[in-house]
Structure 1
Amino acid sequence: MAPRPLVLVINGPNLDKLGTRSPEIYGSTTLAELEKTLTARAEELGMDVEFFQANDESVVVDAVGHASQRGAAAILINPAALTHFSYPLREALAATGLRVVEVHISNIHAREPFRRLSLVSGVAKGTIVGLGVKGYALALEAIAGMVGVPRDGV
């Protein structure tokens, strides 16, 4: 039996505060609850997930840089504020050669002007914005198709 594809789920700055920080924008689901939901969905899809969250840009960039060494087949990333200014993150994602799907809980295009630019989108296979935490599960489903996980009638 072939090994199950591993998806590295990376959450950037302040996403450790999900559920309490600006719930009117980001909802009431905590990061722990989101990770539990994604673990179950990945299992249903025949994939494994590994989670990473950091508030420091260099730590996030290092996690991306080590994704291949960790055996990741793809990266699902919510870069949070790093979306708008982190050229090092963009370069690290591009350098991995892995499939990348960018997720944002809120619709960054309907928010303040500085939030409308994503440096990550240009190196991602796809971007999901504005669908709340459900966007993460949709991203996992998209990644399953990208990495060739067999889908029974879906």
Structure 2
Amino acid sequence: MKKILLLNGPNINRLGKREKEFYGTFTLEDIENDVGALVQKHGYELDCFQSNHEGELIDCLHKADGVYKGIIFNPAAYTHTSIALHDAIQSISTPVIEVHISNVHQREAFRHVSMTAPACHGQIVGLGALGYQLAAQAFITD
């Protein structure tokens, strides 16, 4: 099983256009291409999915169980609100690493709490697009 899933939540499709002071100028396509190139060098495949809809993310997590070595997941704003995503992550055996582009702990207080992180294998915050590559590297070398 040499596959990794890159999963992104709401508004990540707007990268490069929104709040550049927090998220930079790179796009979701840039992230997908960079992570894809990294995992391919190590003989892995990368599947990518982004949705602005919580239920679609839950369905994707359920379908991913047992199919991937790991899931790189940026739940975006759902991080701070979604018990349903927490439960979906907890219900699967495939490990999930939560990634955030900005340092959520330097932002508004409501962003300091992650509902999803306790169900995840690990969390990477504040390293920009590099965080996704580090998560991929963790699965590759694990």
TM-score normalised by structure 2 residue count: 0.96
Match of 2:136 in 1: 140
Alignment partners' CA distance in 2, 1:41 and 1:80? 23
Aligned pair 1:38/2:48, yes or no? Answer: no
Q: Does 1:75 align with 2:85?
A: no
**Equivalent position of 1:97 in the other structure:** 93
State the Cα deviation string for residues 110-136 of structure 1 (Å, max 9, x = none). 110000001111111111000001100
Q: 2:23 aligns with which of 23, 26, 35?
A: 26
Amino acid at match of 2:81: F
Q: Deviation at 1:39? A: 0.7
What SS is found at the alignment partner of 2:69?
A: strand
Aligned to 1:53: 50
Q: Which moved more, 1:84-93 or 1:43-52?
A: 43-52
Q: Is the 8 Å Cα contact of residues 101 and 143 (structure 1) preserved in structure 2?
A: no
Paired AA for residue 131 in structure 1 = L
Q: Secondary structure at the match of 1:101?
A: strand
**Per-residue Cα deviation, 1:16-50 (whole angstroms, up to 9, x for no partner):** 00111111110100111111111101112221110
Between structure 1 and structure 2, the one with the greater Rg is 1
Structure 1 runs of 4+ with >3 Å offset: none
Percent identical residues: 39
1:129·1:135 contact (CA, 8 Å) conserved in 2?
A: yes
Instruction: Tell me the number of residue pairs that the alignment of Structure 1 and Structure 2 aligns.
Output: 142
Q: Distance in 1 between matches of 2:42 and 2:25?
A: 25
Structure 2: how far apart are the matches of 1:33 and 1:137? 12
Cα RMSD after superposing both structures: 1.1
The CA deviation string for residues 81-133 of structure 1, in whole angstroms up to 9 with x for no partner, is: 01001011011111111111010000011110000001111111111000001
Could you report, residue by residue, the CA deviation over 1:41-98 in whole angstroms, capped at 9, with x for unpaired residues? 11122211100000011111111111126x2221110000010010110111111111
TM-score of the superposed pair, with normalisation by structure 1: 0.89
Structure 2: 5+ residue stretches without partners: none
- Quote the offset at 1:145 in angstroms: 2.3
Aligned to 1:84: 80
